[in-house]
Amino acid sequence: MRYSCFASWRFFLVGRNIFFEMRLYENTTIAAIATPPGYGGIGVIRLSGDDSLKCLQSLLDTKKATELVPNQVSLQSLIHSESGQVIDEALITYFRSPHSYTGEDVVEISCHGSPVVLTEILRLLASSGAELAKPGEFTLRAFLNQRIDLSQAEAVNDLIHSQTRYQAQLATRQLRGEVSKQLKPLKNALVEMIVYFESSLEFVEDDLDSLNIERFQLQIDILCSSVQKLISSYQLGRLVKSGIKLAIVGQPNVGKSSIFNALLGRDRAIVSAIPGTTRDTLSEVLAIKGIPVELIDTAGIRETQDVIENLGVERTQSAIADADLVIAVIEASHNPTTLELTFLSLLPFDLLVINKCDLEMAFDEEFINAIKQNKPVAEVSALTNQGIGELQDLIHSTLSSGSLPIQEGGIITNERHYQALLSTSESLLKAKQDLDLGFSEEIILVHLHEALRCLGIITGETLIGDIINQIFATFCIGK
């Protein structure tokens, strides 16, 4: 049975059994342009559903329509069904159910990437009976047809929107079932305990004894430890997926814009010896060892009668409030004034950067220790690039408290998964507590079932339709 998604679907899943509260659409065939809008060398149109081949054949020469072989590429002329004119020469790939992305019959048309050509082909396919696909509908069908679980479906979207190599690596691992593999032994252990407690209700002679209680306490402890490890990985996973805002702040003319340019590796901000050159915040995104960082160059903070510069200072203060990380910059060749020291003492910075270290230092290490507020210090020269690599390392270590463990097991990057794991941990702790207090099997089973349900939320085995709707609505059309 094949399903199509629509804007207001409502269903819930219990062991991947699908129950719809609204009308069920069966045997629909969907079509969409799968490549981004605009002009390109190649454009791809994708169809999925029982009538995919039938819709395609309406555009083919009847003599060649029978030549399509599953899993092989075929060069075909696409013919306008109304005028009889050739629209384009295209490569056609046919995937027969269930050996396709969606688990249904799938056809992919690779033609020239003109929006005019793509739109016309899509219009003709629609006139042949195909419905226009909604965002994420192809991946939704893959999920409903059990080709992938929900965590893998989310990874598809994460991979499409990845901005850094590390983001792409994590998304690929999740797409290959990394999260599911991490959860499988946890689910199996929970099922084993549930079966035991359920059977003890049926057979009174199997009541819990002290030996079994200790065994299950140990099992729950092991489960809690595994779940907590995944929960702890979210701190890093969130940074990798969402990135952080990093504000560079300081007095005028200490080299904030020069450091901004040096970190970017190109001249983006205007640099001048005239104090107060930067009148507004300027931002660019870069990757620092896999973590997306929105780098914000700010106006120098000082008292001024210039109305425009004052507006820039106000925006600097807003940038500091919004930033996840603040770098305070001072210059090595200048001994800070009392006003500058007061500014530093009031500034909630995370890293202290001493710029212009290629010049003679105007203060000693004792002075640095007095002003750094026990925060890391980097000595750089934005002019010569000295210390910029070390500054990137320092930013990275401050964010992640160490190197990114790409080879060390699963990392949770999705907040939905994180919340489900927190609920799982809470249910496990309640089960252990009630076991310690000698509560009945029925009470303990409630918590164990809830823990299993929460793990199922991550992979989509136990999830209400409104959440499914929200997840797939964020996908692009054609995926």
Are 248 and 328 members of one domain?
yes
pLDDT band at 458 (very low <50, low <70, confident <90, very high): very high
Tell me which range, 50-64, 169-183, 321-335, is most confidently predicted by mean pLDDT: 169-183
C-alpha to C-alpha distances, 322 to 281, 342, 381, nearest whole angstrom: 12, 22, 27
CATH of the domain at 273: 3.40.50.300
More confidently predicted of 428 and 274: 428
- Are 375 and 350 contacting, i.e. CB atoms less than 8 angstroms apart? yes
The per-residue pLDDT for 435 is 87
- What is residue 402's predicted lDDT score, i.e. its pLDDT? 45
Do both 301 and 388 map to the same domain?
Answer: yes
**Same structural domain, 263 and 367:** yes
pLDDT at 347 over 50: yes
Least confident range from 123-137, 171-185, 293-307: namely 293-307
Q: Could you give the CA distance from residue 258 to residue 340 in angstroms, rounded to a whole number?
A: 20
Residue 392 is assigned to a structural domain of this protein: yes
Q: Which of 11-15, 324-328, 439-443, 469-473 has the lowest mean pLDDT?
A: 11-15
The range of the structural domain enclosing residue 226 comes to: 170-240+414-459
Question: What CATH number is associated with residue 453?
Answer: 1.20.120.430
Residue 155 is assigned to a structural domain of this protein: no
pLDDT band, very low/low/confident/very high, at 39 (cuts 50, 70, 90): very high
pTM confidence score: 0.75
Give the model's pLDDT for residue 437.
84
Q: Are residues 287 and 349 in the same domain?
A: yes
Q: How far is CA 147 from the centre of its chain?
A: 21
204 and 309: one domain?
Answer: no
Q: How many domains are there within the chain?
A: 3
Burial 397-409 (b: 16+ CB within 10 A, else e): eebbeeebeeeee
- Residue 33: predicted pLDDT: 96
Chain segment 398-440, per-residue pLDDT in tens: 876 544 444 455 789 999 999 999 999 999 999 999 888 888 8
Give CA–CA dist 354/258, Å, rounded: 12
Q: Are residues 282 and 300 in the same domain?
A: yes
Domain end among 374, 400, 426? 400
- As a whole number of angstroms, the distance between CA 263 and CA 283 comes to 12
Residue 1 has pLDDT above 70, yes or no: no
CATH number at residue 21: 3.30.1360.120
Q: Indicate if 247 and 396 belong to the same structural domain.
A: yes
Mean pLDDT of 452-474: 81
